[in-house]
């Protein structure tokens, strides 16, 4: 399962422009095992230059990057939770995503109407926060009487009801659910509610072309990822060579979309490891701190169940030695067991038995 991110924001802030830029790029990535599922759901490869370096050594039939799924929804407006606008209906589409990316309008462009008639990033963020919180309070309301009934005969349900009560109080003060100090156990009890404000949140500042490179004030304690969606959409149409030229000309190192995807990884505490064989060189996504069997499960649950050992070469060693046999000769080929904590970039071959 790809990591999934829901895109939210006020109307006309550039969500669909960003989405199109992201997914058009995906279409260009030939040989991709995933397709666009629905018009508003797109799977995007995670940019990782290490993959090509591995492929240069292994010469595989296919190179498969890790993937992120993006879900685009209609803009939310003030009062969405009371049926204003279309947005609230669409919130259901992002209930089960792993994180939320909020696009915030920074670009001026008088030709593009702002719903509230002014450019005010902080104000917009508050509007969206309020809508997401109200949507979550609605979710809790709807689950309340059922949970209350269950709580009479079930201890877990009683504990869940207590967490719901705490969350209700907290969110009624205007805070996101994620900011409430809860134990892992308490969080687990309300996981099935899929609260939107419990998800990690990423802010995307949709800036004017002229403001590329300028500093942006933090939102909610986080520096937003600067993107010029309009330019990104144009860049997404370019062939590789044209893109190089364009980046050179504009003094950029890479499309802003790459930084966005990387930031999502770091926000969510994710990293990649690789498998490298003649059939394919492939990146796999795992949480930082994952042990070898847990990493194996991402390929197939059988790999975890029947895990015997992992043959591991660190990425730098692999490249320096020119591949697996070189790494063996250099003494960099390791056999690791169940307790091995996988490092970012490890090239791994799992031995398993089912």
Ligand X SMILES: Nc1nc2c(ncn2[C@@H]2O[C@H](COP(=O)(O)OP(=O)(O)OP(=O)(O)O)[C@@H](O)[C@H]2O)c(=O)[nH]1
Q: Kindly tell me the burial class for residue 220, based on how many C-beta atoms sit within 10 Å of its own C-beta (0-12, 13-18, 19 or more).
A: middle
Q: Measured from the CB of residue 111, what is the shortest distance to ligand X in angstroms?
A: 7
Q: Measured from the CB of residue 290, what is the shortest distance to ligand X in angstroms?
A: 35
Q: Measured from the CB of residue 178, what is the shortest distance to ligand X in angstroms?
A: 23
**Distance in angstroms between the alpha carbons of the first and the last residue of the chain:** 22
CA dihedral defined by 251, 253, 258, 260, rounded to 10 degrees?
A: -60
13 lies in the binding site for ligand X (CB under 6 A): yes
Q: Where are the alpha helices (DSSP H) in the chain?
A: 15-28, 49-58, 87-91, 121-151, 155-172, 184-189, 229-235, 240-250, 256-267, 292-299, 301-305, 315-320, 324-329
Q: Measured from the CB of residue 41, what is the shortest distance to ligand X in angstroms?
A: 15
Within residues 149-208, the interface with ligand X by CB under 6 A covers 206
88 lies in the binding site for Mg ion (CB under 5 A): no
Interface with ligand X (CB under 6 A), residue from 75, 121, 293, 345: 75
Nearer to Mg ion, 230 or 291 (CB): 230
Residue 109 interacts with, from Mg ion, ligand X, none (CB under 5-8 Å by kind): ligand X
Q: Kindly tell me the burial class for residue 132, based on how many C-beta atoms sit within 10 Å of its own C-beta (0-12, 13-18, 19 or more).
A: buried
197 lies in the binding site for Mg ion (CB under 5 A): no
Q: Measured from the CB of residue 74, what is the shortest distance to Mg ion in angstroms?
A: 6
Within residues 87-146, the interface with ligand X by CB under 6 A covers 107, 109, 112
40 lies in the binding site for ligand X (CB under 6 A): no
80 lies in the binding site for ligand X (CB under 6 A): no
Nearer to ligand X, 26 or 276 (CB): 26
16 lies in the binding site for Mg ion (CB under 5 A): yes
Residue 81 interacts with, from ligand X, Mg ion, none (CB under 5-8 Å by kind): none
Within residues 294-323, the interface with ligand X by CB under 6 A covers none
Strand pairing category for 307-313 and 347-352: antiparallel
Q: Quote the DSSP letter at residue 65.
A: -
Q: Which residues does 132 contact at the CB level (< 8 Å), separation at least 6?
A: 8, 76, 91, 100, 176, 196, 197
Q: Measured from the CB of residue 85, what is the shortest distance to ligand X in angstroms?
A: 9
Strand pairing category for 280-287 and 270-276: antiparallel
Q: Measured from the CB of residue 103, what is the shortest distance to ligand X in angstroms?
A: 6
Q: Quote the DSSP letter at residue 199.
A: S
171-198 burial string, b = 16+ CB within 10 Å, else e? beeeebbeebebeeebeebbeebebbbb
Residue 206 interacts with, from ligand X, Mg ion, none (CB under 5-8 Å by kind): ligand X
Instruction: Specify the stretch interacting with ligand X by CB under 6 A; choose among 12-20, 60-68, 196-204, 283-291.
Output: 12-20
Under the rule (CB under 5 A), what is the footprint of Mg ion?
15-16
Under the rule (CB under 6 A), what is the footprint of ligand X?
9, 11-17, 74-75, 107, 109, 112, 206, 228-230
């Amino acid at each position: 399962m790809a990591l999934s991110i829901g895109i939210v924001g006020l109307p006309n802030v550039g969500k669909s422009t960003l989405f199109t830029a992201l997914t058009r790029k995906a279409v260009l990535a030939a040989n991709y095992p995933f397709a666009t599922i629905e018009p508003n759901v797109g799977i995007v490869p995670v940019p990782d230059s290490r993959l090509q370096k591995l492929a240069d050594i292994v010469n595989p039939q296919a190179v498969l990057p890790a993937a992120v799924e993006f879900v685009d929804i209609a803009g939310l407006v003030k009062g969405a939770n009371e049926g204003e606008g279309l947005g609230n209906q669409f919130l259901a589409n992002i209930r089960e995503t792993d994180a939320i990316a909020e696009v915030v309008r920074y670009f001026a462009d008088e030709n593009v109407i702002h719903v509230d008639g002014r450019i005010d990033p902080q104000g917009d963020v508050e509007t969206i926060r309020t809508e997401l919180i109200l949507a979550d309070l609605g979710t809790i309301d709807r689950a309340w009487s059922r949970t209350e009934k269950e709580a009479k005969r079930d201890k877990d349900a009683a504990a869940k009801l207590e967490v719901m009560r705490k969350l209700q109080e907290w969110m009624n003060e205007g805070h996101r659910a994620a900011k409430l100090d809860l134990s892992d156990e308490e969080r687990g009890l309300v996981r099935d509610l899929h609260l939107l404000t419990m998800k990690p949140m990423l802010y995307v500042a949709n800036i004017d072309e002229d403001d590329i490179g300028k500093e942006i004030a933090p939102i909610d304690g986080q520096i937003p990822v600067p993107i010029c969606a309009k330019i990104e959409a144009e860049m997404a149409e370019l062939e590789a060579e044209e893109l190089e030229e364009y980046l050179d000309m504009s003094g950029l190192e890479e499309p802003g979309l790459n930084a966005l995807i990387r930031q999502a990884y770091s926000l969510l505490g994710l990293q990649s490891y690789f498998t490298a064989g003649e059939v394919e060189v492939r990146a796999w996504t795992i949480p930082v701190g994952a042990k070898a069997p847990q990493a194996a499960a991402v390929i197939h649950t059988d790999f975890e169940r029947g895990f015997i050992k992992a043959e591991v070469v660190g990425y730098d060693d692999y490249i320096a030695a020119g591949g697996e046999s070189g790494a063996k000769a250099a003494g960099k080929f390791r056999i690791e067991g169940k307790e091995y904590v996988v490092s970012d970039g490890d090239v791994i071959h799992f031995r398993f038995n089912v």
